[in-house]
Amino acid sequence: MDAITSLAAAIRPNASDDNPFREAIPDLAQRLRHAPRYLLDRRATETMVELSLGRPKVLLEALAHVRVPYPTMWVEWDDADRQRLRDQWDKLGEPMSYAELRPMPGRVGFLLETDPGGRSGTAIWSWTTPQANFFPNVGPIRAHWDLDRRFELSPERLEGLLGGNIGKMWADNPIQLAAFLDIWRTAQHRPCSWASRYFGALGNDPVVIALSYSDVVGEYITIWAIMLLLTASRPTVDYQPIDRTKLNKNRTKRRETPLLDHTQVTMHIDRHRISAAQRAPLGYTRKSPRVHLVSRYLARRGNRHWVVEPYLRGQGNPIGRRVNVRS
């Protein structure tokens, strides 16, 4: 985020060369200034990965209720926090030559721009690359998504999804695999306005074009994993506003690019973790309660209701009951 605004301030708008990033970087930086900005911490990033690797059918059913709460919205995280996932991918034997063409990013973020109602819009991705001194890149492919529609997947896109790591996870589960593909049918991925100049500058290399699509298409599911975290009905995350007003006063005096305010998203996994004292040992069976009287209660199964009369339950010695009566 800050790398984008810093580079945008350094770009001369009237330069003579036809570099497509002279349009892409300043345009993205301008949109960032008017968007709520969320930065995920390590735990929130790991939970996002776990959600994207979870059952696609559950995620697809949740998408029926998701609405993006802002017309424009930016989400960002440190991609080093996904190192554990990368290690798993390495075990799958990804060719080294392919990995070298796609260096691992530093920070990753996406900008959502939504239509009224929050059920459709576009998404554009940006990331920094440590190998290029954390120079910010903007993806030339934009996702046009609509959660209430289904778009056909091209044969090339279908082959890529089935051959990807997440697709391989559900290869033997037809229900989950169908839901997995249906998530991607909520979007069409098309080149941005400046993409033709970008691909032309690289000689319209088919490998570069294919990698540009796969970079964005493969990350599409993370958008909705993050939105489920941020819009959950139960408070699973905390928000800490980061105000950089004082810091920017000094930066302005030094003629440096002001940094953008944002909201730090902190995940509270400990709230949902079962403590060791609550865990029963392996093979534990609950001891039957002593004999006691169960009061009359209303039972239900499906659409049938009936009254269960009082009965004795348990074994061993009965429980004595003592009642104090005040006159």
In a domain, 293, yes or no: no
Query: What's the predicted TM-score (pTM) here?
Result: 0.73
In a domain, 315, yes or no: no
Over residues 220-249, the pLDDT tens digits come to 999 999 999 888 766 778 888 998 888 889
In a domain, 318, yes or no: no
State the pLDDT at residue 317: 73
Burial of 144 per CB tally in 10 Å (0-12, 13-18, 19+): middle
pLDDT tier, 275 (very low <50, low <70, confident <90, very high otherwise): very low
In a domain, 108, yes or no: yes
In a domain, 146, yes or no: yes
**Rounded-to-integer distance, Cα 96 and Cα 245, Å:** 45
State the pLDDT at residue 258: 87
State the pLDDT at residue 94: 46
Over residues 284-307, the pLDDT tens digits come to 566 677 787 888 887 877 767 788
Q: What is the mean pLDDT of residues 125-140?
A: 82
State the pLDDT at residue 85: 60
In a domain, 260, yes or no: yes
In a domain, 118, yes or no: yes
**Rounded-to-integer distance, Cα 306 and Cα 317, Å:** 30
Report how many domains make up the chain. Answer: 1
In a domain, 314, yes or no: no
State the pLDDT at residue 319: 66
Axis crossing angle, helix 21-33 with helix 2-10, rounded to the nearest 10: 130
State the pLDDT at residue 225: 92
Q: Domain of residue 111: give its range.
A: 2-272
Q: Above 80 in pLDDT, residue 33?
A: yes
